[in-house]
Protein backbone atom coordinates (compact mmCIF):
# COMPACT_ATOMS: atom_id res chain seq x y z
CA UNK A 1 0.00 0.00 0.00
CA UNK A 2 1.08 3.59 -0.47
CA UNK A 3 0.22 6.91 1.14
CA UNK A 4 1.16 10.45 0.30
CA UNK A 5 3.25 12.23 2.95
CA UNK A 6 4.28 15.87 2.72
CA UNK A 7 6.82 15.58 -0.11
CA UNK A 8 6.93 11.94 -1.15
CA UNK A 9 4.85 8.77 -1.42
CA UNK A 10 5.55 6.15 1.23
CA UNK A 11 4.99 2.39 0.77
CA UNK A 12 3.98 0.24 3.72
CA UNK A 13 2.31 -2.96 4.88
CA UNK A 14 -0.41 -3.05 7.52
CA UNK A 15 -1.75 -6.36 8.83
CA UNK A 16 -3.68 -7.49 11.91
CA UNK A 17 -5.21 -5.42 14.64
CA UNK A 18 -4.70 -4.30 18.22
CA UNK A 19 -1.48 -2.85 19.62
CA UNK A 20 0.36 -1.12 16.72
CA UNK A 21 3.86 -2.53 16.18
CA UNK A 22 5.94 -0.44 13.77
CA UNK A 23 8.94 -2.07 12.07
CA UNK A 24 11.73 0.22 10.87
CA UNK A 25 14.27 -1.41 8.56
CA UNK A 26 18.04 -0.99 8.52
CA UNK A 27 20.50 0.25 5.91
CA UNK A 28 20.48 -0.44 2.97
CA UNK A 29 17.29 -2.45 3.12
CA UNK A 30 13.51 -2.11 2.87
CA UNK A 31 10.34 -3.31 4.55
CA UNK A 32 10.75 -6.62 2.73
CA UNK A 33 13.31 -7.59 5.34
CA UNK A 34 10.38 -8.03 7.77
CA UNK A 35 8.56 -10.60 5.66
CA UNK A 36 9.01 -13.46 8.20
CA UNK A 37 7.58 -11.22 10.92
CA UNK A 38 4.53 -9.80 9.17
CA UNK A 39 2.28 -12.83 8.79
CA UNK A 40 3.36 -14.47 12.01
CA UNK A 41 3.03 -11.45 14.31
CA UNK A 42 -0.22 -10.18 12.75
CA UNK A 43 -1.94 -12.64 15.11
CA UNK A 44 -0.60 -10.67 18.08
CA UNK A 45 -0.58 -7.02 16.99
CA UNK A 46 -1.32 -4.57 14.21
CA UNK A 47 1.97 -4.92 12.36
CA UNK A 48 3.11 -1.99 10.26
CA UNK A 49 6.26 -1.99 8.15
CA UNK A 50 7.36 1.05 6.18
CA UNK A 51 9.82 1.71 3.40
CA UNK A 52 11.81 4.75 4.46
CA UNK A 53 12.12 7.46 1.80
CA UNK A 54 14.37 6.33 -1.04
CA UNK A 55 14.02 2.63 -0.10
CA UNK A 56 11.95 -0.21 -1.55
CA UNK A 57 8.76 1.16 -3.10
CA UNK A 58 8.85 4.59 -1.41
CA UNK A 59 9.78 7.62 -3.45
CA UNK A 60 13.22 9.14 -2.99
CA UNK A 61 14.05 12.70 -2.10
CA UNK A 62 17.56 14.17 -2.27
CA UNK A 63 19.60 13.51 0.90
CA UNK A 64 20.90 13.79 3.50
CA UNK A 65 18.44 11.83 5.62
CA UNK A 66 19.13 12.77 9.26
CA UNK A 67 17.75 10.25 11.77
CA UNK A 68 15.53 13.03 13.14
CA UNK A 69 13.95 13.51 9.68
CA UNK A 70 13.31 9.78 9.28
CA UNK A 71 11.79 9.69 12.77
CA UNK A 72 9.44 12.51 11.83
CA UNK A 73 8.54 10.58 8.68
CA UNK A 74 7.45 7.70 10.96
CA UNK A 75 5.31 10.10 13.00
CA UNK A 76 3.78 11.58 9.82
CA UNK A 77 3.00 8.06 8.64
CA UNK A 78 1.19 7.27 11.90
CA UNK A 79 -0.69 10.59 11.72
CA UNK A 80 -1.77 9.92 8.15
CA UNK A 81 -3.12 6.52 9.16
CA UNK A 82 -4.87 8.14 12.14
CA UNK A 83 -2.89 6.09 14.68
CA UNK A 84 -2.76 8.21 17.82
CA UNK A 85 -2.37 5.31 20.24
CA UNK A 86 1.24 4.75 21.43
CA UNK A 87 3.08 2.20 19.27
CA UNK A 88 5.70 -0.42 19.95
CA UNK A 89 8.66 0.39 17.71
CA UNK A 90 10.99 -2.32 16.48
CA UNK A 91 14.02 -0.87 14.75
CA UNK A 92 16.94 -2.86 13.39
CA UNK A 93 20.35 -1.20 13.25
CA UNK A 94 19.72 2.13 11.46
CA UNK A 95 16.07 1.49 12.35
CA UNK A 96 17.23 1.53 15.98
CA UNK A 97 19.03 4.86 15.46
CA UNK A 98 15.70 6.17 14.14
CA UNK A 99 13.85 4.65 17.10
CA UNK A 100 16.08 6.61 19.52
CA UNK A 101 15.31 9.82 17.61
CA UNK A 102 11.59 9.00 17.58
CA UNK A 103 11.67 8.45 21.33
CA UNK A 104 13.35 11.82 21.90
CA UNK A 105 10.97 13.66 19.54
CA UNK A 106 7.70 11.87 20.31
CA UNK A 107 8.03 10.12 23.69
CA UNK A 108 4.30 10.01 24.38
CA UNK A 109 3.73 8.05 21.16
CA UNK A 110 5.95 5.14 22.23
CA UNK A 111 4.47 2.17 24.11
CA UNK A 112 7.64 0.06 23.95
CA UNK A 113 10.93 -0.38 22.14
CA UNK A 114 12.53 -3.40 20.52
CA UNK A 115 16.13 -2.50 19.73
CA UNK A 116 17.51 -5.09 17.33
CA UNK A 117 21.17 -5.26 16.23
CA UNK A 118 21.70 -1.61 17.04
CA UNK A 119 23.92 0.68 19.08
CA UNK A 120 23.41 4.07 20.75
CA UNK A 121 26.81 5.59 19.95
CA UNK A 122 27.60 7.89 17.01
CA UNK A 123 30.07 7.07 14.24
CA UNK A 124 33.74 7.10 15.21
CA UNK A 125 36.04 9.21 12.99
CA UNK A 126 37.01 5.96 11.23
CA UNK A 127 33.35 5.08 10.79
CA UNK A 128 32.70 8.53 9.31
CA UNK A 129 35.57 8.08 6.84
CA UNK A 130 34.05 4.73 5.84
CA UNK A 131 30.71 6.46 5.17
CA UNK A 132 32.53 8.75 2.71
CA UNK A 133 34.17 5.76 1.03
CA UNK A 134 30.79 4.01 0.72
CA UNK A 135 29.21 7.16 -0.71
CA UNK A 136 31.95 7.36 -3.36
CA UNK A 137 31.59 3.63 -4.13
CA UNK A 138 27.82 3.96 -4.54
CA UNK A 139 28.17 6.99 -6.82
CA UNK A 140 30.90 5.42 -8.95
CA UNK A 141 29.84 1.78 -9.13
CA UNK A 142 26.18 1.80 -8.17
CA UNK A 143 24.01 0.24 -5.52
CA UNK A 144 24.96 -3.36 -6.36
CA UNK A 145 28.60 -2.65 -5.41
CA UNK A 146 27.39 -1.63 -1.94
CA UNK A 147 25.33 -4.81 -1.71
CA UNK A 148 28.28 -7.03 -2.65
CA UNK A 149 30.58 -5.27 -0.19
CA UNK A 150 28.13 -5.55 2.70
CA UNK A 151 26.62 -9.00 2.25
CA UNK A 152 29.39 -11.07 3.90
CA UNK A 153 29.22 -8.89 7.02
CA UNK A 154 25.45 -8.49 7.26
CA UNK A 155 24.88 -12.20 7.78
CA UNK A 156 26.59 -14.64 10.13
CA UNK A 157 29.37 -16.66 8.44
CA UNK A 158 27.23 -19.81 8.70
CA UNK A 159 24.27 -18.17 6.96
CA UNK A 160 26.45 -16.56 4.32
CA UNK A 161 28.10 -19.84 3.36
CA UNK A 162 25.21 -22.28 3.78
CA UNK A 163 22.01 -20.43 2.86
CA UNK A 164 22.42 -19.08 -0.69
CA UNK A 165 18.69 -18.46 -1.08
CA UNK A 166 18.69 -16.10 1.91
CA UNK A 167 21.86 -14.40 0.65
CA UNK A 168 20.13 -13.80 -2.70
CA UNK A 169 16.99 -12.53 -1.00
CA UNK A 170 19.00 -9.95 0.96
CA UNK A 171 20.94 -8.94 -2.17
CA UNK A 172 17.65 -8.35 -4.03
CA UNK A 173 16.34 -6.20 -1.16
CA UNK A 174 19.53 -4.12 -1.13
CA UNK A 175 19.53 -3.66 -4.90
CA UNK A 176 16.01 -2.18 -4.69
CA UNK A 177 17.30 0.82 -2.71
CA UNK A 178 17.83 3.97 -4.77
CA UNK A 179 21.14 5.80 -4.99
CA UNK A 180 19.53 8.78 -3.24
CA UNK A 181 18.42 6.40 -0.48
CA UNK A 182 21.89 4.94 0.02
CA UNK A 183 23.72 8.27 0.02
CA UNK A 184 20.98 9.94 2.08
CA UNK A 185 21.32 7.24 4.76
CA UNK A 186 25.12 7.36 4.75
CA UNK A 187 25.17 11.12 5.31
CA UNK A 188 22.43 10.88 7.92
CA UNK A 189 24.17 8.12 9.86
CA UNK A 190 27.54 9.86 9.61
CA UNK A 191 26.11 12.93 11.34
CA UNK A 192 23.83 11.20 13.82
CA UNK A 193 23.98 12.33 17.44
CA UNK A 194 25.09 10.20 20.37
CA UNK A 195 22.00 8.47 21.77
CA UNK A 196 23.84 7.16 24.83
CA UNK A 197 22.38 9.92 27.09
CA UNK A 198 18.89 8.89 25.91
CA UNK A 199 19.24 5.37 27.33
CA UNK A 200 18.79 6.33 30.99
CA UNK A 201 15.73 8.41 30.01
CA UNK A 202 13.83 5.50 28.46
CA UNK A 203 10.71 4.93 30.54
CA UNK A 204 8.90 2.40 28.34
CA UNK A 205 9.36 -1.38 28.31
CA UNK A 206 12.36 -2.20 26.15
CA UNK A 207 13.78 -5.38 24.67
CA UNK A 208 17.29 -5.58 23.26
CA UNK A 209 17.66 -8.33 20.64
CA UNK A 210 21.04 -9.21 19.17
CA UNK A 211 22.64 -11.95 17.09
CA UNK A 212 25.48 -13.80 18.79
CA UNK A 213 27.49 -13.65 15.55
CA UNK A 214 26.82 -10.01 14.58
CA UNK A 215 29.92 -8.82 12.70
CA UNK A 216 28.81 -5.20 12.30
CA UNK A 217 27.82 -4.41 15.89
CA UNK A 218 29.59 -6.61 18.43
CA UNK A 219 27.41 -8.27 21.06
CA UNK A 220 29.22 -6.51 23.91
CA UNK A 221 27.87 -3.16 22.66
CA UNK A 222 24.32 -4.49 22.93
CA UNK A 223 25.08 -5.79 26.44
CA UNK A 224 26.38 -2.38 27.50
CA UNK A 225 23.34 -0.68 25.96
CA UNK A 226 21.03 -3.11 27.74
CA UNK A 227 22.56 -2.37 31.14
CA UNK A 228 22.12 1.39 30.61
CA UNK A 229 18.35 1.17 29.93
CA UNK A 230 16.20 0.89 33.09
CA UNK A 231 14.49 -2.52 33.33
CA UNK A 232 15.28 -3.57 29.76
CA UNK A 233 15.33 -7.20 28.66
CA UNK A 234 18.06 -8.77 26.55
CA UNK A 235 17.85 -11.79 24.28
CA UNK A 236 20.80 -13.05 22.28
CA UNK A 237 19.90 -15.27 19.34
CA UNK A 238 22.36 -18.06 18.49
CA UNK A 239 23.66 -18.63 14.97
CA UNK A 240 22.52 -15.21 13.87
CA UNK A 241 24.38 -12.20 12.55
CA UNK A 242 23.25 -8.63 11.95
CA UNK A 243 20.04 -9.68 10.17
CA UNK A 244 18.88 -11.85 13.04
CA UNK A 245 15.18 -11.52 12.17
CA UNK A 246 15.86 -13.23 8.82
CA UNK A 247 18.43 -15.68 10.10
CA UNK A 248 16.43 -16.83 13.15
CA UNK A 249 12.84 -15.76 12.39
CA UNK A 250 11.14 -18.16 14.80
CA UNK A 251 13.28 -17.16 17.79
CA UNK A 252 12.96 -13.49 16.84
CA UNK A 253 9.17 -13.73 16.56
CA UNK A 254 8.89 -15.64 19.83
CA UNK A 255 10.92 -12.94 21.59
CA UNK A 256 8.58 -10.23 20.28
CA UNK A 257 5.47 -12.25 21.13
CA UNK A 258 6.76 -12.68 24.69
CA UNK A 259 7.51 -8.95 24.91
CA UNK A 260 4.03 -8.00 23.66
CA UNK A 261 2.44 -10.51 25.99
CA UNK A 262 4.26 -9.03 29.00
CA UNK A 263 2.77 -5.59 28.17
CA UNK A 264 -0.84 -6.82 28.32
93 binds ligand MLT (CB under 6 A): yes
Of 28 and 205, the one with the shorter C-beta distance to ligand MLT is 28
User: 123 or 223: whose CB is closer to ligand MLT?
Assistant: 123
Of 21, 189, 202, 256, the residue at the interface with ligand MLT (CB under 6 A) is 189
* Count of residues interacting with ligand MLT (CB under 6 A): 7
x/- track of binding to ligand MLT for residues 225-254 (CB under 6 A)? -----------------x------------
- Taking the least distance from each CB to ligand MLT, the nearer of 94 and 115 is 94
Q: Kindly tell me which of 90 and 260 has the beta carbon lying closer to ligand MLT.
A: 90
- Residues numbered 17-36 forming contacts with ligand MLT, rule: CB under 6 A: 26-27
Q: Are 247 and 3 in contact (CB under 8 A)?
A: no
User: Smaller CB distance to ligand MLT: residue 192 or 226?
Assistant: 192
Omega before 202 cis (within 30°)? no
CA atoms of 173 and 206, how far apart (whole Å): 28
**Taking the alpha carbons of 220, 225, 227, 232 in that order, is the dihedral positive or negative?**
negative
Whether 27 and 93 have beta carbons less than 8 Å apart is answered as yes
Nearest to 97 by CA among 129, 71, 73: 71
Contacts made by residues 128-137, CB under 8 angstroms, sequence distance 24+: 128/190, 131/186, 131/187, 131/189, 131/190, 132/190, 134/182, 134/186, 135/182, 135/183, 135/186, 135/187
**Contacts with 35 (C-beta within 8 Å, 6 or more apart), sequence order:** none
Residue from 3, 216, 219, 234 touching ligand MLT (CB under 6 A): that is 216
CA dist., res. 222 & res. 208, Å (int): 7
**Distance in Å, CB of 193 to ligand MLT, minimum:** 14
- Closest distance to ligand MLT from the beta carbon of 208 (Å): 15
Q: Least distance to ligand MLT from the beta carbon of 213, Å?
A: 15
Q: How far apart are CA 133 and CA 51, in angstroms?
A: 25
- Closest contact distance (angstroms) between CB of 241 and ligand MLT is 11
- 11/94 with CB nearer ligand MLT: 94
The CA distance from 64 to 181, in Å, is 9
Q: Does 94 engage in binding with ligand MLT (CB under 6 A)? A: yes
Q: Under the criterion CB under 6 A, does residue 219 sit at the interface with ligand MLT?
A: no
- Give the interface with ligand MLT as residue ranges (CB under 6 A): 26-27, 93-94, 189, 216, 242
Amino acid sequence: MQIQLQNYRMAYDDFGQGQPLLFIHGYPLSRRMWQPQMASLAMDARVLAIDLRGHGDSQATPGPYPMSLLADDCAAFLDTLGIQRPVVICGLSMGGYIAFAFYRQHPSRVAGLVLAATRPGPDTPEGQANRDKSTALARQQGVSAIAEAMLPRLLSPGTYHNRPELVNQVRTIMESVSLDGITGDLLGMKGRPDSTPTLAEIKVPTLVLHGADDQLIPLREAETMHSAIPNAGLQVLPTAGHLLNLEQPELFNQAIQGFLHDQR
